[in-house]
Structure 1
Amino acid sequence: MSPALLHTARFLMSVNHPHGLPTSEAPEIAFAGRSNAGKSSAINTLCQQKRLAFTSKTPGRTQQINYFSLGGADRIAGHLVDLPGYGYARVPAAAKAHWAQLLSHYLRTRSQLRGLILLMDARHPCTALDTQMIEWFIPTGNPIHILLTKADKLSRQQGLAAQRATQQRLDKYARSDTRSMLSVQLFSALKRSGLDTVYQVIERWLA
């Protein structure tokens, strides 16, 4: 796709409870990942904006569901949805439980959701929580596209090996009818590599 649509992204609202989710029927594409996996940096890079999604060196800062609208004010073409990061040990147990409930509800029940962009650090892919996220989402019948982030920290050979290993891990537990819905790519916000593939995925999902 032309990245022009993503460049129109604007912050819309933050949601901390299922009843606060917008009523718009516009298609939604969610971004999820472990805390400090580079989710905010990826969103900012894809949308060509420096501070659209808040980035921090302190994991666990995204504590709500953040909505970004695509298109002009007179016609919303879709929404990007930044989900709370998961897996940060210093977050209080009550907050973790709240995030887990909010994430599970959103991923399993949101009819407007067209696909999940799941970010994993290329150096540490497919953690137990990453696998849980995938298994929460598979029953919806929507696709998952995995970005192996921070690929610039690996050599090309190491990156390709991480991509192959991740795909093999997915194939081990994915049902035969879901394997075509699970895709993986290398991505670097710093080097701006892998953007075209993500644009193509988002275009397909929004269509």
Structure 2
Amino acid sequence: MRVNRILLSTALVVVALVIQVSVLARLHLPGAVPDILLLTVLGLAMVYGHVGGALVGFGAGLLADLAPPADHAAGRYALVLCVIGYLAGLIKPENGRIKSATGPMLVVVAAAIGATVLYALVGALVGDTTARHVGLGSLLFTAALYDLLLAPFVVPGIMFLARRADNDPLAEAGSSAKGSDLSAGWLTSGTGLRIGGQRGFGGLKSKARARTARVGRIKGVKRL
């Protein structure tokens, strides 16, 4: 990962972890706790891709495992967020921009449910049966609900900051030029016409004028 990505990811993860531990964990909401750390990983993964998402997820999860008052084995949440970050990074579009909010919202719901299930499965492997006593069904519902309500205030801002820190003027100029070429290709696709006077309406007019001028020269008739 680039240096600016590492610095931004570290700062965002630390801020999210502080808010998670000092604010959200003390709200004592029924069921699960709103997971702003998970949303931060999702936002970064949808900009950095699957490799960057996996690295950010592992680092964020490891900090959460070590931050007090952690009551589970170290590495448990790191594994969960590493997998979630990798999977979320797979939906990153080629141009890095997501046009519709439906996709990210579905990713948030799937990530909240998947993280809860994976966390419970890893806990079962190490002998932690807390999820059974609390009720896995209520945890899944409340985790998806809280994260979905919190996502519009977190994920877009995280993605904006990630793109802003990853800004490259040369790449931006190249992408804009490529975008103009693609738009021209889109305008002419499926019609067999070219814009610029070679083929299409401009080309037909120029050919007609040339043919008229040539006929005029042959017959010796002056054309207006």
TM-score normalised by length of structure 2: 0.26
TM-score normalised by length of structure 1: 0.27
Question: Greater share of helix residues, 1 or 2?
Answer: 2
Larger C-alpha radius of gyration, 1 or 2?
2
Question: Greater share of strand residues, 1 or 2?
Answer: 1
Higher relative contact order (CA 8 A, sep 6+): 1
